[in-house]
Copies of this chain bind each other. A is one copy, B any other.
Amino acid sequence: MLRPHGIILFAHGARDPAWAQPFQAVRTHVEQLRPDTRVALAFLEFMPPSLPEAAQQLAAQGCAEVQVVPLFLGAGGHVRKDLPHLMQALEKQHPDVRWTLQPAIGEDPEVIAAMAAVVARMGRTG
């Protein structure tokens, strides 16, 4: 059996459940673009699932490799320090899965350009 690929969208989390809505929308879009891929959300704090929990689910589904994508605009301490430690733990716990850490989504030129385009339009309506 061909083992599926996985993607974990890793976000900060917040006390208000409504905070997660944009991240859930990103997940839905990615699932539409990649129907062959298992796409999970995970949060650093305040809301479930944690990264280890989401990783456990994808490993249990037989994923051969999982990309972890930080849904952060800038790469601060959470992305540069906390996340590499979490990745090391995943590699130990699930050695049969290839885990890859991607750059923070906010550093991508396409995301930067989209934010700028939206801001420039907001300015026009003021």
Interface residues of chain A, those whose CB is within 8 Å of chain B, are 5, 7, 9, 11-12, 14-16, 18-23, 25-26, 29-30, 33-34, 37, 65, 67, 69, 71-77, 80, 98, 100, 102, 104-120, 122-123, 126
Contact = CB atoms under 8 A, between A and B. Distances in A.
A67 B122 contact: yes
Given A14-B76, A110-B114, A111-B115, A120 B34 contact: yes
Copies in the complex: 2
Given A22-B112, A105-B115, A122 B69 contact: yes
The interface residues of chain A, by DSSP majority, are classed as helix
Contacts of A65: 126
B116 A114 contact: no
A99 B14 CA distance: 27
A25 B73 contact: no
A103 to B, nearest CB: 9
A76 to B, nearest CB: 4
B11 A73 contact: yes
